[in-house]
Structure 1
Amino acid sequence: MNRVTTMVLALAVAAGAGLAEETRVAEDQTPTGKFLTAGEVRPILEATKGNWIAVREFNGMDLLYFTHLLAWRCGLYEVSFAVNGGEMQRFDMPDCDPANAMAVPPEATVYLEYPLGSIETVAVELLYDDLARAGESFQRANVMTP
């Protein structure tokens, strides 16, 4: 894809811990019809915000699922999240596979484990490949799944 704009993102790591700099370049947003760009996936992700994450109690643990965002990861540079107002951290996602864009690879991490009942709130921030950001905060009760 063509690189059209350069932007430096400075992320505060922690108070007094320094500054991490990462260079990102906006990707070409020419529609592909295959949901590979921010312009194509943003309307879907905005319409399905309530499904970005899910919390499930299973086997004595809270499981924090990112399945929906994994399926729509093409068009995203990264997903960051914070549990209970903690520090934002990056959720590792596999690279986009343009031949099978919405498939979640079997080796992908789909959920993270936390102590049972410990997840009260989750903040999620998306960085699209056009460098736009979107975010949402979720209460446990609103994202619980059986």
Structure 2
Amino acid sequence: MRVTIGALVLAALPQLAAAQQFTTAAEVRPILGATKASWVALREYDGQDLIYFTQILSWRCGLTAVGYGFNGAEPTTLLPMEPCHEGTASPNAITGDAIYLRQPPGSVQSLRVRIVYDDGTTEEASYARAQVLMP
């Protein structure tokens, strides 16, 4: 019996799909590393500064914590995160609306963010208001 490469790939698809759930540090680190400039966004809306963490929260299943600090403060304030939806087709799906923080208008001039991966390693980034301000 002759087995083609295509048949081997098709046979491996279920295992490949299961391995790519993006629920571990090893799986999400490359994505978060490549999108570091977009980890946060700031929007002036309805008389408030809204700080969005959507990019980070979209890959939270490989993280144990996200800390932030405004205006030079250490990134030690923990960002609330909904749990990972393990056992579903989309474990990183965001089902709630807790993707941003509200602050007084014009109060956020800079932001520091620290993410802690589930393997214990950390990564940090700093942003000036102008870098992340949405039009």
Same fold (TM over 0.5): yes
Give the total of aligned pairs.
Answer: 115
Aligned-partner Cα distance in 2 for 1:145–1:65? 10
Query: What is the percent sequence identity of the aligned residues?
Result: 43
Q: What is the deviation of 1:64?
A: 0.7
Structure 2: 5+ residue stretches without partners: 1-17
Secondary structure at the counterpart of residue 37 of structure 2:
helix
* Alpha carbons 1:71, 1:101 under 8 Å: kept: no
Deviations 1:15-54 (A, max 9, x none): xxxxxxxxxxxxxxxx821111000000000000011111
Deviations 1:56-84 (A, max 9, x none): 00001000111111111010000000000
Structure 1: 5+ residue stretches without partners: 1-30
Residue 108 of structure 2 is aligned to residue 125 of structure 1: no
Q: What is the deviation of 1:129?
A: 0.2
Aligned-partner Cα distance in 2 for 1:35–1:137? 25
> In the alignment, which of 3, 8, 21 is matched to residue 34 of structure 1?
21
Aligned-partner Cα distance in 1 for 2:100–2:114? 16
Aligned-partner Cα distance in 1 for 2:123–2:60? 14
Structure 1 residue runs of 4 or more that deviate by more than 4 Å after TM superposition: none
Q: Which has the larger radius of gyration?
A: 2
Between Structure 1 and Structure 2, the one with more helix by share is: 2
State the Cα RMSD in Å: 1.3
The TM-score, its normalising length taken from structure 1, stands at 0.75
Residue 104 of structure 1: aligned partner: 94
> In the alignment, which of 55, 60, 66 is matched to residue 68 of structure 1?
55
